[in-house]
Amino acid sequence: MKSKARIVVVGSINMDMVINSPTLPVKGETILGEDYFTVPGGKGANQAVAASRLGAHVVMFGCLGQDQFGQQLLQHLQNEGIVTDNITVLEESPTGVAFIPVTPSGDNCIVVSPGANMRLTPQHIEQGEEIIKNADVLMVQLEIPMETVRTALQIAKKHNVITILNPAPAKALSNDIYQLTDIITPNETEGSLLAAGNVQQSLSAEAIMSELSQSGVGKVLLTRGGDGVVYQDDNGISVVPACKVEVVDTTAAGDACNAALAVALAEKLNFPEAVEFAVKTSALSVTKAGAQTSLPYRDEVERFICQL
């Protein structure tokens, strides 16, 4: 990995409200939790911070509210070395927030109130076309309007920029979104929804791969938590097992994986090598609590790889 990665992230910026909980609540249940804290989050911002910590030059497109959380998050992103010139601060919308209970084993569930994130428009992205044109990789997720996702992918595709779509939160996608996506990175739940149209129907990795490969998408990377990842490229289906680590919190594991994949590809690694790097980076992230607080720096990842 030699050349400096140039990454553009189009996505959400939230303040995460995390509570340590003995279990995850079921319908109608109230649980007495333990410690509570706030931490910068949002899938877009998580991936931007992760890529920056891995050594990339990162530009982010997003929206914040003109409130205390918005001010804190904008300053935080700047402190992380991310270019924030294309982050719009809105008077009329609150900053997005997420509520996240986390169990002692690291399991979590997340409820997001998107706020200003849903005010990120195609026009915001069109104004930054020159920035996207000069990127190596564009990363986008689904915590922003779909028309904005589409515009970002279209502009990147127009300029032969690698496009990575993390389809979270899970929702049905139109054919043109697939065709604009070089790499799609669902987890098993998201993959089942995309492949079967029903989040309640759990499909095998092979079934998900088979269905998504017919959608027009370039490559598929399916994340499976402690079971590692399965990916499909021109050489067929491959499995990369997870690294054995002590799990503290899985909140941003997928974001770490996506960012590491993007950085590795921007640094000209081939796809299997990039996936290996992504799996190792993701494994290191689950050994710490919180979303962005768990995202590792490049030297930490390299030391971790050396110890394996």
Quick one: tokens of 33?
A: 């939790």
Helix (H, G, I), strand (E, B), or coil: what is residue 174?
coil
Strand ranges across the sheet with 36-41: 36-41, 14-20, 96-102, 111-113
Is 288 known to sit in a ligand binding site?
Answer: yes
Is 160 known to sit in a ligand binding site?
Answer: no
Is 44 known to sit in a ligand binding site?
Answer: yes
Is 51 known to sit in a ligand binding site?
Answer: no
Is 105 known to sit in a ligand binding site?
Answer: no
**Is 182 marked active-site?**
no
Give the whole-angstrom CA distance, residue 28 versus residue 19. 18
Is 280 known to sit in a ligand binding site?
Answer: no
Name every residue whose Cβ is closer than 8 Å to that of residue 266 and which is 6 or more positions away in sequence.
3, 5, 6, 7, 56, 136, 137, 162
Is 174 known to sit in a ligand binding site?
Answer: no
Is 67 known to sit in a ligand binding site?
Answer: no
Contact at 8 Å (CB) between 54 and 81?
A: no
Q: Provide the Cα torsion 155, 156, 159, 163; round to 10°.
A: -160
Is 43 known to sit in a ligand binding site?
Answer: yes
Beta strands 229-233 and 14-20 are unpaired
Is 14 known to sit in a ligand binding site?
Answer: yes
Helix (H, G, I), strand (E, B), or coil: what is residue 24?
coil
Quick one: tokens of 236?
A: 């067929």
Is 252 known to sit in a ligand binding site?
Answer: no
Quick one: tokens of 21?
A: 């909980």
Question: Per the residue annotation, which of 67, 136, 182, 255 is the catalytic one?
Answer: 255
Task: Give the number of other Cβ atoms within 10 Å of residue 75's Cβ.
Answer: 12
Task: Give the number of other Cβ atoms within 10 Å of residue 34's Cβ.
Answer: 10
Is 42 known to sit in a ligand binding site?
Answer: yes
Amino acid at 3: S
Is 35 known to sit in a ligand binding site?
Answer: no
Is 236 known to sit in a ligand binding site?
Answer: no
Q: How many residues does the chain have?
A: 308
Is 290 known to sit in a ligand binding site?
Answer: yes
Residue numbering of the annotated binding site: 14-16, 42-46, 143, 187, 223-228, 249, 251, 254-255, 285, 288, 290, 294
Give catalytic residues, as residue numbers.
Answer: 255
Residue numbering of the annotated binding site for ATP: 187, 223-228, 254-255
Residue numbering of the annotated binding site for substrate: 14-16, 42-46, 143, 255
Residue numbering of the annotated binding site for K(+): 249, 251, 285, 288, 290, 294
